[in-house]
Structure 1
Amino acid sequence: MATLHELVTPDSIRLDVSAGDWREAMRAAGALLVSAGVSDDSYTESMIRNVEENGPYIVVAPGIAFSHARDEDNVHRTGLSWVRLQEPVNFGHESNDPVVLVAALAARNSSAHIMATKQMAALLDDPEKREALRSAATPEDFRAALQ
């Protein structure tokens, strides 16, 4: 299984993105997956429906959302994108709002999803890594913080 660092390229990271709400933030992250050839637009809409139906459980740490959905033949390969928002948005999470970092994972199968989720948990458990993601000056610096 690829590491988080390997799943994301500098082209799948956007810093200081403007988003009016959580849906726009997720669409920005999903658009990066689409432009990288990882998934289709329908996958992005599935990620949004996932939150609408199940609530903001994807806001996994203070200020950080980890969006994903089930592959319904709309994921071409496993990949990850990241968006850092210019201004935080609320997802409706009781303790982890507002969100400034949105990761979008598209996984081809459940084992890839589980491995990426475990790696994400380890990353987010490290306060220094979280701060490096929040303060990265360039997509390359952001990607380096994922190692």
Structure 2
Amino acid sequence: MLIDLISENAIELAVSTENWEEAVRKGGELLERSGAVESRYIDAMVNMVRKLGPYIVISKGVAFPHARPEDGVLKTGISIITLKDAIEFGDEENDPIKLVISFCSTDSEGHLHALSELVDFLRDEKAIKSIMNAKSKREVIDILKEIV
């Protein structure tokens, strides 16, 4: 379940970043700090965006950085950062980005249930806005518990 993958040590609020790459790296650092990925996974997330463009922008104001399991995933995990100031990722339709949900999985199938819950969350505009405006990590977890 999605909520089982989230802990307070994988959440940061009102993070200051200069650009999309720094935002992706900060989300990846939380995954690394939680023991979900090796440091090379962070570079892989950045390189995927450089190679494929802003495909990680999945809805208005939300980015979902990730890379392949073989790029250094140790266990399935999610990190959440809200940005102090919204950042342009290069997606005309959904920029600027205020919420970055970084994801890693050990395989391409084991995380499908968590991803389906994430899709449900992304459909809930009120919940997304609540997380973007959350004042504490506990508040983010409580919002997620209500939805998933």
Deviates more, 1:21-30 or 1:122-131: 122-131
**How many residues of Structure 1 are paired with residues of Structure 2 in the alignment?**
145
Determine the C-alpha separation between the residues in 2 that align with 1:133 and 1:73: 29
Percent identity between the two aligned chains: 34
Determine the C-alpha separation between the residues in 1 that align with 2:51 and 2:117: 25
RMSD: 1.1
- TM-aligned CA deviation for residue 137 of structure 1: 1.2
When the two structures are superposed, what TM-score results if normalisation uses the length of structure 1?
0.94
Q: Which runs of 5+ in 1 are unaligned?
A: none
Aligned to 1:56: 54
Q: Which runs of 5+ in 2 are unaligned?
A: none
Q: 1:39 aligns with which of 21, 37, 40?
A: 37
User: Aligned pair in 2 of structure 1 residues 21, 131: CA closer, same or farther (>3 Å)?
Assistant: same
Determine the C-alpha separation between the residues in 2 that align with 1:108 and 1:74: 9
- TM-aligned CA deviation for residue 126 of structure 1: 0.8
Whether the 8 Å CA contact 2:44–2:71 is kept in 1: the answer is no
Whether the 8 Å CA contact 2:2–2:115 is kept in 1: the answer is no
Stretches (4+) displaced over 6 A: none
- TM-aligned CA deviation for residue 113 of structure 1: 3.7
Determine the C-alpha separation between the residues in 2 that align with 1:5 and 1:137: 19
Whether the 8 Å CA contact 1:5–1:144 is kept in 2: the answer is no
Q: 1:123 aligns with which of 115, 121, 124?
A: 121
User: Aligned pair in 2 of structure 1 residues 9, 99: CA closer, same or farther (>3 Å)?
Assistant: same
